[in-house]
Structure 1
């Protein structure tokens, strides 16, 4: 398709230091930028289609980004080496110090991406992946692919299919596309999905994820997740998390010299009474009584 990306943008304190290199393909525009950013420089970007930015140098200590109306005092994070920005998602940037940077931009028509992904992963999974932003710092082979594409943009030497294939490989390597092992079978979560979920809730420490957060972790809709989760574990997501929290409470009661009130605070319960009620619900006894019984044994 004949395509040129459309983007609303504005910058202050950012200066191009070399002519940008660019090429147009079928539903794809690739641009290699080299620029210098002053302390306090700012930028705003909003595109109608998805895009990918890959930095050839680490700017995470120098550039901050936000998707919340430029509120850098609260809603900001470091700029990673590679990011995928879904269609219609605004982005604000600010620089903390003087630096030069080089990055590759891939502007892609959303219909082209959908056509590229759907035959392999299905339309539903493709749409889910296209709506989900991605930010990674350790880009590994993606940097090699981006370097090859930047070289081909600067000095075309091969058929267009070469550059388009490099862009497709970057997309496949960066987007959060579930593997075939992540697809639920017979109304149940796969072991790969359960492993992802266990890692996610363990990282929280207090086992207090919302159903939406749990569903997002395994790449499912909230309603579908709640159904297949109960089929898999025999418990609702909230019942399962409560059981996990009580398991952890039992370990803390035995392994550390903590009061029941201190454990309640550590695990995110409202107070000691809240923990005691939940503990009795799951274990059949109060935390204090259960601890005495275990010590006596």
Structure 2
């Protein structure tokens, strides 16, 4: 499949410091960039097909990224080490300092990606996977694979199949694709991201954060966060927070003599009746009945 990447891109304050090393393949273009970015530099990228960027150094202190606008007036986050961008998703970047960086760009035809994923996870799950953005900060194996691709781009010696197989491995690792009972592909938050979120939630008395605040805590956009959060926990962010509040209420019911109205106020409910309704929905019983059952054990 002959393929030329289709991308609209504009940059200010970013310049290459070495010739771009690239190679085409079956529905694939691999390109290695070495560049220098000035403080205040900006970039805009919009591709009609999926693409992957792997950075070889930690860019989180120098670059920020947004899917909303180039002024970074709305949500933005530190640049991850590796990012998968679905087709048609715009990306803005901004540099906070002058620095040099290198990264591998992988442009993939969406049909090529579907052809790789579908035999293993099914066509519907594959289509869902390529529409799901992924960002990770812990790249380990992906960085090794990307480095092998860069070596081959620098000194070509192997068949095109070699790079194609390495790219396929990066895709499988980055997209966190595996077969589940429901046949859906999953992109998940890392344990480190979940730990950051738990720490942030535990700082609050009533355990309540907006979805935007939860996303900011782990360095993701709100829409991307909501998508992968449900894949990770099986709940929406608000359902998950509600379950944590009820868990806290159970602890207070079991370990203190606080009244139910006091517990309701302690965990941020407006009144006892509202707390009782929500507790029953989540725990299957009223707070009073739950406490009696626990005390009888």
Cross-structure match for 1:29: 29
1:95-244 equivalence runs, <5 A: 95-177=95-177, 179-180=178-179, 182-184=180-182, 203=198, 217-218=230-231
Paired residue secondary structure (1:283): coil
Note the C-alpha offset of 1:262.
Answer: 6.5
Provide the rounded CA distance (Å) in 1 between the counterparts of 2:161 and 2:136: 27
- Higher RCO structure (Cα 8 Å, ≥6 apart): 2
Paired residue secondary structure (1:148): helix
Note the C-alpha offset of 1:161.
Answer: 0.8
Larger-Rg structure: 1
Q: Do 1:37 and 1:99's aligned partners in 2 also have CA atoms closer than 8 Å?
A: yes
Q: Unaligned stretches of 5+ in structure 2?
A: 212-224
> CA distance change for structure 1 residues 259 and 209 in 2, over 3 Å: closer, same or farther?
farther
Alpha-carbon displacement from aligned partner over 1:198-229 (angstroms, at most 9, x marks no partner): x89x946759999x95996338xxxxx99xxx
Q: Do 1:207 and 1:244's aligned partners in 2 also have CA atoms closer than 8 Å?
A: no
Aligned residue pairs total: 266
Q: Do 1:277 and 1:286's aligned partners in 2 also have CA atoms closer than 8 Å?
A: no
The normalised TM-score by structure 2 is: 0.75
Cross-structure match for 1:82: 82
1:66-81 equivalence runs, <5 A: 66-81=66-81
Alpha-carbon displacement from aligned partner over 1:28-76 (angstroms, at most 9, x marks no partner): 0000000011111111000000000000111011100000123523310
Provide the rounded CA distance (Å) in 1 between the counterparts of 2:262 and 2:52: 46
Provide the rounded CA distance (Å) in 1 between the counterparts of 2:288 and 2:209: 21
Provide the rounded CA distance (Å) in 1 between the counterparts of 2:243 and 2:174: 35
Cross-structure match for 1:253: 253
Alpha-carbon displacement from aligned partner over 1:241-293 (angstroms, at most 9, x marks no partner): 97775443121234468775664366453444421444477434559xx7699
